[in-house]
Amino acid sequence: MDTAVIILAAGKGTRMNSTRPKVLHEVGNFPLISHCIKTAQSIDPKKILIVLGHGKSEIKKFLGNSINSIDFAIQEEQLGTGHAVGVATNELADFDGNLIVLFGDTPFISARTMTKIENECKQADLVVLGFHPQDPTGYGRLVTKNKELLRIVEHNDANDEELAITLCNSGVMAGSAVLIKKLLKELDRNNKNNEIYLTDCIELARTEG
């Protein structure tokens, strides 16, 4: 089954206190977005689509000739990760393979991990990459029971019991494009940030069976 990779790169990066788009800040002498594109290319996907917003012209200019092999979607309003992926899937209306969603400011996802995620999509409708950070502050928590993922709770919405969980959300989510498109239409903004969370797809999918 074909795979398409969506890279979320529309954020302003306000915490960086910089006028430069967040994804153009460098790690290891290369901008974050370059690392992310290389990660996406490692599995030779059918399509790579980058969601742009803040600094879109500057990012496109930086990418230069490489944009010939990349498609773009524009998120005019930053209404959350679920909204951003929805903007992307509007450009993938006829695609019915698997989607892998990456964040443009997350440069350390390896090719090996990408291959594992792609393989997991053959067995599960939705796949989430979790990890145990030294400091979980700011990360969404993966709420599990008997080794099954029940839901993802964003840091700002978590209670004390959920904040004690050390298994965190990396931001990488994958799964059936058909299912993800369906779930995105059902998401709401009923949270402290008043945003559409991609992570809410997990609990919604479990609720619907």
Q: What pLDDT digit, counting tens, does each position of 150-162 carry?
A: 999 999 999 999 9
Mean pLDDT score, 7-23 = 78
Which range of residues forms the domain containing residue 190? 3-208
Q: Which residue from 171, 197, 122, 145 is spatially nearest to 6, judged by alpha carbons?
A: 171
pLDDT score recorded for residue 67: 67
pLDDT score recorded for residue 28: 87
- Asked whether residue 188 carries a pLDDT value surpassing 80, the answer given is yes
Report how far residue 71's alpha carbon sits from residue 74's, in angstroms, rounded to the nearest whole number: 10
Beta strands in 91-140 (DSSP E): 98-103, 126-131
Report how far residue 51's alpha carbon sits from residue 8's, in angstroms, rounded to the nearest whole number: 5
DSSP 175: E
CA distances from 86 to 166, 186, 208 (A): 29, 11, 20
Residues of the chain with pLDDT > 90, as a percent, come to 82
- Asked whether residue 26 carries a pLDDT value surpassing 70, the answer given is yes
Confidence of residue 40 (pLDDT cuts 50, 70, 90): very high
- In contact, 58 and 19? CB cutoff 8 Å: no
For the chain, the distance separating the N- and C-terminal CA atoms, rounded to the nearest angstrom, is 23
pTM for this entry: 0.94
Which CATH number does the domain housing residue 145 bear? 3.90.550.10
Report how far residue 86's alpha carbon sits from residue 108's, in angstroms, rounded to the nearest whole number: 25
How many C-beta atoms surround the C-beta of residue 104 within 10 A? 26
Q: CA 129 from chain center: how many Å?
A: 10
Report how far residue 10's alpha carbon sits from residue 103's, in angstroms, rounded to the nearest whole number: 10
Confidence of residue 12 (pLDDT cuts 50, 70, 90): confident
Give the number of domains in the chain.
1
Element (H, E) at 90: helix 81-90
Beta strands in 57-119 (DSSP E): 71-74, 98-103
* Residue 189 a catalytic site member: no
Q: Which of 15, 20, 141, 189 is catalytic?
A: 15
Q: What pLDDT digit, counting tens, does each position of 80-136 carry?
A: 999 999 999 999 999 999 999 999 999 889 999 999 999 999 999 999 999 999 999
- Asked whether residue 207 carries a pLDDT value surpassing 60, the answer given is yes
Q: Which residue from 179, 22, 10 is spatially nearest to 97, judged by alpha carbons?
A: 179
- β-partners of residue 27 are 30
- In contact, 103 and 5? CB cutoff 8 Å: no
